[in-house]
Structure 1
């Protein structure tokens, strides 16, 4: 019986993906704590979830984790945050949690790279390109946001620099990112966000042309000494399009990681920063071949992290076996696998690049396909879980038809 005990803060798909990796690798069940249950982990036999209404309070978090550690003495406890907020809490307090292996970055890196405006300053030092960006610290008149003053045109993207702070101030029209088609619209979005109480910088960003299929996701794992030990590239087929889910990956085809021109620059940046743990990068390729732009870094494994495990790099094994093994190899994933958490047919229907669809279909036909929620050991003799998963998959058809309709749909 393994002495490994994975502990997660959060109950979303991120949690289930990682818990599944631990179960596949070591046969262990995971424990999770969060403010409320969520569909991806409901009725699961591999994730034991406990509702803690104020789990986002650091005092509560520390009490829960200390109590859990006291109940599991002699075990190897691995701790992960599944949202930006939970990851940030762990980063800030992990020095006070010596009972856990929490493979996240040091607290001082939180203010250096977690916020997009500051992250772009670091990118400049390592030759990592990102979209042309205007940084705001307060609302401004529309006249200040003309194309002439910005240096780039409309439509453009408006988003908060700190997503952790942003989600703490909800309002009715809240979205993960916004598209502004005029200076007046951009100014109004910025005013609305700041009126909510959001305290940090806002970014106006040149829109990189191309749909979801122009996106790439790169996941890296850095060991305890700050050495990058593994990197895996995914080519996005389709993203979610609900207001709060916009930008979350729904289907990915893994690709040869070495083929991404920015891989070495990113590796050098992570090692120069002495980054530890998982990092996750959103990248977009414009219509100009080889023109890749980094959007942001997540200081944790991404929500779609199972694409890495599906590609042959089990995330749990990376943590358990490479965290402090004194190795210096850096493995770049080169396997091609079709990963999805929506039904495969949704991915095939809504992906705009026909060549990418053909590749995904070929991978599926060859048995190189994984769906996060269709995990036989968790579904077998578990009819309530089975029904819950089928309902989650069924609802995706309506979600995409509602929020991302194809021409001619009604």
Structure 2
């Protein structure tokens, strides 16, 4: 009989993010992760590096808690510590709100419930940015009942997004988007009317649109230990975004980039607000004033965070060093420039909108300094490889249909 392991990763969700974390654990420790999910989706199917636990209606709070308690009974004799990782905001929220019940059984590397309520509620989040001197786009808070034909303090185009993304997630209405880029008053009025015709009643965030295409976006990932100290920061420059309507805003190409000024600013911010665990920050460079402006702070690693592991900073390592080994390691700042991609090579090259960046992308492919989350050489059985190839082949038609050149 095998001995008890020091730890087991318990990953909530089964998407690209979940697989990327399972791959990081397998690469670093040769360990199989437990994936807790509602059902089977491609990223974690036909995989030898995950052990799936399926629970129907897992995203309902009471079902979630009971499922996690049942799982603990099953796993408690297999490992000394069970490390919980969330692959999306919803699972992070469920874990945080259930902390009192789950903490005796699991390690929960997440922020407090009170801080979560401030961070995910964008209206309050931008107040925090103001307090800590972070640059963010010019913003107006729009409340239900206000005049949708009102004059704004900045010109079109504007961005419209929900202040409370969690309640917005459950709202259903025609033409729903994660966020809107609107070019005139008529489309602005129509979008607001449509949103408030649904169950969503909270504030909307109206922002000045920062000019520039995908390649002026930056994504910053960090890990903050249980004592509130930042242990890792890794910045990436976005090469290309997904143009599939339901996936708009997700990145499909990122190249590592060093920026010590950004590292210093956001290290101070995360430590000052009492952050814990994985952070994922979206920034956009504004050529009008030369500043990097924050859009949001996600309370878990991002869907494309395998770019961090690709660049040599294994995402699993920091969590294990913190919660299992209780190490006091020096902070690591990302300085490498390897390429992570989520679409086929030729598509990425074809659709990259910055010629200088395109040359870098080609160079990384030529040097072999690239990785794609789901194509893990140690986990590519025939069926898995076939299904992945079929899925990614579909991207050719998607880009042909949906790609739009941006400013």
TM-score range, shorter chain: over 0.9
Matches for 1:129-208 after TM superposition, within 5 Å = 129-144=135-150, 146=151, 150-208=152-210
Is 2:101 the counterpart of 1:96? yes
Mapping of residues 10-409 of structure 1, within 5 Å? 10-74=13-77, 75=79, 76-97=81-102, 98-144=104-150, 146=151, 150-258=152-260, 261-288=261-288, 290-323=290-323, 325=326, 327=328, 329-379=330-380, 382-405=381-404
Distance 2:328 2:42 in 1: 38
Secondary structure of residue in 1 paired with 2:196? helix
SS at match of 2:349: helix
Residues 142 and 184, structure 1, Cα contact 8 Å, conserved in 2 = no
C-alpha deviations, 1:167-190, integer Å up to 9, x for none?
A: 111223111111222223212212
Q: Distance in 2 between matches of 1:269 and 1:130?
A: 14
Contact between 2:160 and 2:180, CA under 8 Å: does it hold in 1?
yes
Q: List alignment gaps of at least 5 residues for structure 1.
A: none
Question: Does the Cα contact within 8 Å between 1:11 and 1:33 map onto a contact in 2?
Answer: yes
CA, structure 1 residues 46+58, in 2 after alignment: closer, same or farther (shift >3 Å)?
Answer: same
In 1, distance between residues paired with 2:146 and 2:223? Answer: 40
Report the CA distance between 1:92 and its aligned residue.
1.2
Asked if the contact 1:242/1:403 (under 8 Å) is kept, the reply is: yes
8 A contact 2:148–2:192 mirrored in 1: no
SS across alignment from 2:231:
strand
State how many pairs are aligned: 399
- Distance in 2, matches of 1:364 and 1:237, equals 14
**Which runs of structure 1 show a deviation greater than 3 angstroms over 4 or more consecutive aligned residues?**
none
| C-alpha RMSD over aligned residues | 1.7
CA distance in 1 between counterparts of 2:9 and 2:400 reads 37
Going from structure 1 to structure 2, the CA distance change for 1:406 and 1:281 (only over 3 Å counts) comes to closer
SS of the aligned residue for 2:271 comes to helix
Give, in angstroms, the shift of residue 86 of structure 1: 1.0
